[in-house]
Amino acid sequence: MPSETSKMKNLIEDIGVFEAQDELSVEPVRTVDQDTGKTRKLYIESYGCQMNFSDSEIVASILQQEGFDTTSDLAQADLVFLNTCSIREKAELTVRKRLQHIHGFKKKKPELMVGILGCMAERLKTKLLEEEKIVDLVAGPDAYRDLPKLINQVDEGDKAVNTFLSREETYADVTPVRLNTNGVTAFISIMRGCDNMCSFCVVPFTRGRERSRDPHSIVAEAQDLFEKGFREVTLLGQNVDSYKWSEEENNKAKLEKKEFYRLSILPIYWS
């Protein structure tokens, strides 16, 4: 039988392995070079879960319509976004250290716009603007349609924040700009949010309530990917096995409430 001392030593070694894995997991995914003649350059670093990487593709698509091409070179960027994670403290510390590095670029290029997106933005809201003076813009996961307006606010000399959580937003009508793709596999987001309220998890508070995407738009996106040469898709969401949608409602909690009410008023027939 191993002694308590050896058990503790093994545990500490295991923790060291997990920390090494965590170090690898915070390596960001960056935008690729795209030159279609747009006047401004967008650079995004995505941290955390696959939903953040998928959201960055939505952000790139929205801003492509607003005159932004993407770049893989931070030094060439006019707008820098960090799409952030709040699931663990280490992920947030990584973002804060990265902001210190970006500060050097902003000193050389004062007009450089810096924004925080994702779960860290949603959790800290306006505190980010107070704590990180370099940050010009803060937008939560459900506010990406509002980015053109927020960018205009910053262009006019103001700070900009939108961390409103929606019960309906799924970005179903936005065709993502595929970033860092191999041309064969792709992710399709089918739902957002989580209703589980686990005591250890921040997701319901940073991603909002569960709502599911129109299945017709999911099939259309898969068909578009197939026509572009992709041959494998992974359905994506915070809680994909909770997918639930109807033509009149995409919010799971509201749907289940309606179903409960409908069943509760059904007549009971005694045999």
Task: Answer with the one of 128, 162, 196 that is the final residue of a domain.
Answer: 162
Is 104 domain-assigned?
yes
**Is 37 a member of any domain?**
yes
Average the pLDDT over 87-102 and give the result.
92
> Is residue 12 a part of any domain in this protein?
no
- So what's the pLDDT on residue 17? 44
Domain boundary among 162, 193, 221: 162
Mean pLDDT for 17-37 is 64
Does 255 fall in a domain? yes
Residues 66 and 148 in one domain: yes
Residue 12 above 60 pLDDT?
Answer: no
Which of 162, 195, 228 is where one domain is finished? 162
C-alpha span between 39 and 32 (Å, rounded): 17
Report the CATH number that the domain containing residue 207 is assigned in CATH.
3.30.750.210
Residues 147 and 34 in one domain: yes
Domain shared by 79 and 145, yes or no: yes
Q: What is the mean pLDDT of residues 34-54?
A: 92
Measured CA to CA, the distance from residue 16 to residue 8 in angstroms comes to 12
pLDDT in tens, 167-197: 899 999 999 999 888 999 999 999 999 999 9
Residue-wise pLDDT for 196-247, tens only, equals 999 988 999 999 999 999 999 999 999 999 999 999 999 999 889 989 887 7
Given CA atoms 224, 151, 96, 89 in this order, what sign does their dihedral have? negative
In a domain, 94, yes or no: yes
Give the number of other CB atoms < 10 A from CB of residue 265: 6
Residue 102: band (very low, low, confident or very high) from pLDDT cuts 50, 70, 90:
very high
pLDDT at res. 255: 65
pLDDT recorded at residue 89: 87
Contact 113, 154 (CB under 8 A): yes
Q: Does residue 96 contact residue 132 with C-beta atoms inside 8 Å? A: yes
- Which tops the pLDDT comparison, 255 or 139? 139
Return the pLDDT at 221. 96
Q: Which two tokens stand for residue 30?
A: 């960056």
Do 34 and 146 lie in one domain? The reply is yes
Distance CA(196)–CA(72), nearest Å, equals: 37
Q: Are residues 198 and 157 in the same domain?
A: no
Residues 99 and 41 in one domain: yes
| pLDDT at residue 22 tops 50 | no
What's the pLDDT score for residue 19?
Answer: 45
Inside any domain, residue 209:
yes
Above 70 in pLDDT, residue 265?
no
Judge whether 42 lies within some domain.
yes
pLDDT at 155 over 90: yes
Say whether both 33 and 140 belong to one domain: yes
Asked whether residue 147 falls in the same domain as residue 194, the answer is no
Q: Which residues span the domain enclosing 221? A: 185-264
- What's residue 261's pLDDT? 59
Q: Average model confidence (pLDDT) for the chain?
A: 86
Domain count for the chain: 2
Q: Evaluate whether 177 touches 61 at the Cβ level (below 8 Å).
A: yes
Is 204 a member of any domain? yes
Residues 44 and 158 in one domain: yes
Tokens of 122: 């949603």
Q: Are residues 96 and 40 in the same domain?
A: yes
35 or 22: which carries more pLDDT confidence?
A: 35
Count of C-beta atoms within a 10 Å radius of residue 70: 24
Q: Do residues 81 and 126 share a domain?
A: yes
Could you read off the pLDDT of 112-147 as tens digits, one per residue? Answer: 999 999 999 999 999 999 999 999 999 999 999 999
Confidence of residue 28 (pLDDT cuts 50, 70, 90): confident
- Local confidence band at 270 (pLDDT 50, 70, 90 cut-offs): low
Same domain, 158 and 193: no
Question: SS in 3 state form for the chain?
Answer: CCCHHHHHHHHHHHHHHHHHHHHHHCCCEECCCCCCCCCEEEEEEECCCHHHHHHHHHHHHHHHCCCEEECCCHHHCCEEEEEECCCCHHHHHHHHHHHHHHHHHHHHCCCCEEEEEEHHHHHHCCHHHHHCCCCCEEECCCCHHHHHHHHHHHHCCCCEEECCCCCCCCCCCCCCCCCCCCCCEEEEECEECCCCCCCCCCHHHHHCCCEECCHHHHHHHHHHHHHCCCCEEEEECCCHHHCCCECCECEHHHHHHHHHHHHHCCCCCCC
Note the pLDDT of residue 256: 67
For position 74, which CATH number holds?
Answer: 3.40.50.2300
pLDDT band at 21; cut points 50, 70, 90: very low
Q: How confident is the model at residue 6 (pLDDT cuts 50, 70, 90)?
A: low
